Amino acid sequence: MLACQHLFIREQVLLRGRAPWGFTLRGGTEHREPLLITKVEEGSVAAAVRLQAGDEMVSVNTVTLSGSRQEAICLVKSSHNSLALVVRRWDVQPCSRS
């Protein structure tokens, strides 16, 4: 019987192109919520790098986020033709036979 591991993973993605990148950011410390990606538009750059709804933004362009959405928005908007993101994702991975 295959055991699965539920865990949070960190995913590093690099978006190349320009805004709009194609994802919706929600939450932030202003709302006392985690900073999450709630929507990823089909065919967008974000989709191309396989960003997913539910990913939590951890850092933008190597800047670790404090959790403020305004900060995150500023950082994203300051990107020109590439956007490096680190997100945290709830993942399911199979592990070895036990």
The contact set with another protein (CB under 8 A) reads: 6, 8, 19-28, 30-31, 33-34, 36, 38-39, 52-56, 69-70, 73, 76-77, 88-92
Q: How far is the CB of 96 from another protein (least distance, A)?
A: 19
Among 54, 25, 63, 23, which residue's Cα sits nearest to residue 40? 23
Report CA-CA distances (Å) from 11 to 14, 32, 39, 98: 10, 23, 17, 27
Q: How far is the CB of 91 from another protein (least distance, A)?
A: 7
Report CA-CA distances (Å) from 56 to 2, 3, 27, 36, 97: 28, 25, 10, 4, 30
Which residue, 24 or 62, has its beta carbon nearer to another protein? 24
Which residue, 32 or 97, has its beta carbon nearer to another protein? 32
Q: How far is the CB of 70 from another protein (least distance, A)?
A: 8
